[in-house]
């Protein structure tokens, strides 16, 4: 039997996301990028205490590395909290020796810091007139359109997004799943995508992260 392995990622209004780093139905993770002004964003990473982002129990090997997540001392400035030591000003503490020894291609410790480096290297406000999105950027295109449509509906008609008054739509999960070829994935994953349901039969190692 041939199979397909879709990964389901979710964007939830107005700034939440669920990334597919574990097994669908087992992973419990959510993130929020909260705008502070035009050039600053406050990032939250949320998991259930005692479980890793991928869903593995406490004490098991987790799929995440938070290396590089050290924070600077807090100040009384508006932007003086939750500032990472690894930052644009110090090249995210890139280690050229690690690169030369082929220990890590990026030389930057931790996938979170690597993502931060890629994101911030675009500059505070990117000139999107120079952007060329492709088919792999479909989710980005759709999210932007939905955000612009929602803003337009609010300004012109006073209509808020559906989720603002129906919080039950946030009861979701993301993740990867293996399905037989030809199966309609939306229906086949309906129960796995529902939050608050336990699926003890699922093995976290199915995602290659035990």
Mean pLDDT in residue range 159-185: 89
Which domain range does residue 40 map to? Answer: 3-207
pLDDT at residue 157, as a whole number = 96
> What is the predicted pLDDT for the residue at 65?
41
Most confident of 26-35, 143-152, 201-210: 143-152
Of the listed ranges 64-68, 129-133, 139-143, 159-163, the one predicted with least confidence = 64-68
The answer to whether the CB of 84 falls within 8 A of the CB of 70 is yes
Distance of CA 138 to the CA centre of its chain: 16
pLDDT higher at 65 or 149: 149
**pLDDT of 210:** 41
Q: For residue 4, what pLDDT is reported? A: 75
Residue 209 reports pLDDT greater than 50: no
The total of structural domains in the chain comes to 1
CA neighbours closer than 13 Å in the CB half-sphere of residue 30: 14
pTM, 2 dp: 0.76
| H or E element in which residue 185 lies | helix 185-188
Calpha distance 144→151 (Å, rounded): 11
180 vs 74: CA distance, rounded Å? 51
Positive or negative CA dihedral for 13, 14, 17, 18? Answer: negative
Q: What would the pLDDT profile of 15-28 be if each residue is shown by its tens digit? A: 899 988 888 888 88
- What are the angstrom distances between the C-alpha of 144 and each of 115, 140, 173? 20, 6, 21
Determine what percent of the chain is predicted with pLDDT higher than 70.
88
């Amino acid at each position: 039997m041939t199979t397909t392995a879709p990964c389901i990622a979710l964007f939830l209004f107005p700034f939440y996301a669920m990334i597919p780093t574990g097994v669908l139905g087992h992973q419990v993770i959510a993130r929020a990028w909260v705008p502070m002004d035009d050039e600053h964003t406050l990032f939250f990473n949320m998991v259930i205490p005692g479980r890793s982002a991928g869903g593995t129990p406490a004490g098991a090997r987790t799929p995440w590395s938070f290396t590089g997540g050290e924070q600077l001392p807090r100040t009384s400035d508006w932007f003086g909290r939750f500032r990472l030591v690894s930052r644009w000003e110090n090249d995210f503490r890139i280690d050229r020796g690690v690169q030369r020894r082929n220990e890590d291609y990026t030389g930057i410790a931790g996938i979170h810091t690597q993502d931060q480096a890629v994101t911030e290297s675009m500059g505070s406000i990117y000139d999107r007139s120079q952007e060329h999105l492709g088919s792999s950027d479909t989710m980005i295109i759709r999210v932007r359109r939905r955000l612009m449509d929602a803003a337009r509906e609010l300004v012109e008609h006073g209509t808020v997004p559906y989720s603002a008054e129906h919080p039950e739509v946030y009861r979701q999960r993301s993740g990867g799943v293996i399905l037989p070829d030809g199966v309609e994935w939306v229906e086949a994953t309906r129960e796995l995508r529902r939050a608050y349901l336990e699926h003890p039969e699922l093995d976290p190692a199915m995602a290659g992260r035990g």
